[in-house]
Structure 1
């Protein structure tokens, strides 16, 4: 993709809603190029989310935050809290506990591969078989606890630049139990992310400085930042202070390396649906998502809050993530459907891909590359419409934004609903209704 001129609104978080809702406005005018929207089905989406929340929680206040922490607790085992309790018993203070947790969560987010139905992980301590995002999380936790991300054998429970830069594909694949039959697609690109993080820890000493450069040192940076306010409850940290840090961890590198997005802007893509001018160099039709950076924010602020009593100011800027589960919810309910020409094209893509040795041939679904205009439009509709779903769910439950945060609503509602509908609609693979081409999968 050709680099474009810098645009602060595109590289910032505040531009995500603005640009995604431009696509939603096109939908309201029936001007989408790739999808049809059936507004009568919106109430069905809302009802499914409400029903799921009522089924799984006695009260919405019990819903945990959306973040990587949930995946570590697969099977109802509080693995992270158990680890934190161990550190506390060994005399580690709350600050070091936070650094270590941020170390772990950062690597776990960057290794959050969309593990397909062909991969699983056998947990060493319980012998339990885990799959998908939970399996990857527990595998990363095992790697972390055995010191694979630390260069100091006497201090295994950390992530440092030297260990990351020296990490080999064989070490990572072995730790994730990858074999010819237990396949995890996209691992090479994720290893590249870890190598990049290792280099960034060294070059950005302002963010990650210290005797040992590590992701957890960003906590020291945030606490020392002039915009951070110390209160009796704990530090008040502005999200804008954290934002450039998380973008440096992987998003900008992925765009520069052609693994998704626009160089200089990150997870930002041209969307022909809202292109109303052919003016050279215009970015008016670009849509911004920043999924990886937002996923890091969602995941990292939870330990900051729990362990240090921190308050993160500005989290209302975060949006629903345009991932496969959230996007699948809108499609599997029939709220949005592919137009016939794109459906036919996607099914032919799948058929052609199935002819390649080793590629899946079950549960046919339309397939596209990540950069395809269909996927860009799908992601934008997902981000915008789930914002509208969130408002209607709160209205139905008579709750305010404070009583039911977007993070809780996604965790206990939209993401879970998308996963369950995928299990019902495509029981063999549990894949989303649109498949991103495996051979060209990118970081996002």
Structure 2
């Protein structure tokens, strides 16, 4: 049996589902520290999500997969389709590499709540906020060639250009002003430098065949040529484990998660609730950013290259705001009174700081707070149950995948409830405060 103090295990994908299922030990024994569970609400949650899917899709099997792609198309604008059309002279492989470049840099620059920041799209004049705003902004920056060191090849992201990226470059690209602020801008640049160093350190995965550039998109050469990849005349199949081994190098940013031995583990955290059940191994891995990269790369592989990924069903629900928020806004999860009061006090203190939200008070906790760790574990566990029950309700002729139900149902439901419950900010029912000093290099 693999113990949860094994760093290799904690960095694996299978550990995410296996370890977070253990939160049910706390539910059964009544040892949850911060939340009460009202399972009478489960049917209501499932019904709400199912109704939204039926409202938005005549055929549920047409639901798109959960992927960064959807955020680029905010406002029902097919921006990625238009971008691909502008690359008509490029091969499918080259197009896929460029999209991976774009999606990865966009995901890594979208690492915290953005409060009052917004991005006004030049072509439409529309203002987009939060994760859609970041996606649209990064796409516009990408098209200017800022992320490319080759003026003749602007549509790419390479290490040489990222190494020269400045705070002013990012501030201009994100339309930062005295009235449109973005917390942690300098730290986002530092994060990009971390990615640059990672691509250099793992040149066998990210360098071009002629060794002239290092790019996220070059992972395709490694994936498609890997010994585990199944190739045929019609298509290829990449193994999930192979994709995971690359994505985790880019996605594990949280150096302040847990330290096992002398090893910093990234998005892995010690869970006090599990400790209360008598467990000595109490580490819970979430690997949210790494999974988000995997979901998005899989979408590109399947859509642009018709390459499948074997084992993608190992991916879990993500601990994103809409997913966890859905469980709270519907009352399936209820924050205990003492934690609610503590979180509200945190929010009020934080509201006194410049650029921080001051309306629609919601409980706030640091990313490493045991409230947040417990919430994230419960999100993975119960969202998977909701997805399974929604699949049964819809009874589609075609098998509905977890990514489809997340995108077409659960994520949308969480966002819509946030808009209804907190219309001014559309923030989640619990606000996580991110400390950018925690975005440090990870020791692998």
Cα 1:100–1:275, aligned 2, differ >3 Å: closer, same or farther? same
Distance 2:327 2:5 in 1: 33
Gaps of 5+ in 2: none
Q: Give, in angstroms, the shift of residue 48 of structure 1.
A: 0.8
- Is the 1:116–1:431 Cα contact (8 Å) retained in structure 2? no
Q: Is the counterpart of residue 430 in structure 1 residue 426 in structure 2?
A: yes
State the distance in 2 between where 1:229 and 1:72 align: 31
- 1:331-350 equivalences under 5 Å are 331-350=328-347
Which string of whole-angstrom CA distances, capped at 9 and with x for unpartnered residues, describes residues 346-405 of structure 1? Answer: 1121222233344322111111101000000000000000011111111111248x6211
Q: CA deviation at 1:303?
A: 1.1
Report the equivalent of 1:373: 370
Task: Work out the CA distance in 2 between the residues paired with 1:438 and 1:17.
Answer: 24
Q: CA deviation at 1:299?
A: 0.8
Which residue in 2 is equivalent to 1:36? 36
| Conservation of the 8 A alpha-carbon contact between 1:328 and 1:432 | yes
Residues 139-188 of structure 1: per-residue CA shift (max 9 Å, x gap):
10111111000011111111111001110111011101111211222333
Shift of 1:13: 0.5
* Paired position in structure 1 for 2:249: 248
Paired residues, what number?
A: 431
Counterpart of 1:356?
Answer: 353
Give the match for residue 234 of structure 1. Answer: 235
Q: How does 1:252-291 map to 2 (within 5 A)?
A: 254-256=253-255, 258=256, 260-262=257-259, 263-275=263-275, 284-291=281-288
Aligned to 2:214: 213
Superposed displacement of residue 261, structure 1: 4.9
How far did residue 199 of structure 1 move?
1.6
CA distance in 1, matches of 2:351, 2:90: 52
CA RMSD of aligned residues (A): 2.0
Which 5+ residue runs of structure 1 have no aligned equivalent?
A: none
Q: 1:97 Cα shift? A: 1.0
2:299, 2:234 → 1: CA distance? Answer: 15
State TM-score, norm by structure 1: 0.93
Matched residue, 2:180: 182
Deviation at 1:232, TM superposition (A): 3.3
Name the CA distance, whole Å, in 1 between partners of 2:201 and 2:313: 31
Separation in 1, partners of 2:49, 2:317: 14
SS at match of 1:87: coil
CA deviation digits over 1:380-432, x for unaligned, max 9?
000000011111111111248x6211101010111111111011111111111
- SS of alignment partner, residue 23 of structure 2: helix
Q: Contact (CA 8 Å) 1:110, 1:250: kept in 2 or not?
A: yes
SS at match of 1:255: coil
For residues 58 and 438 of structure 2, the distance between their equivalents in structure 1, rounded to whole angstroms, comes to 39
CA distance in 1, matches of 2:353, 2:292: 33
CA distance in structure 1 between the partners assigned to 2:10 and 2:284 by the alignment: 8
1:150 aligned to 2:151? no
Cα deviation, 1:268-317, whole Å, max 9, x if unaligned, reads 100011115889xx5x1111100000000011111111111101011111
Cα distance in 2 between the residues matched to 1:277 and 1:364: 33
Please name the residue that 1:7 is paired with. 7
Measure how far apart 1:12 and its partner are: 0.3
Which of 416, 419, 425 is equivalent to 1:420?
416
SS across alignment from 2:22? helix
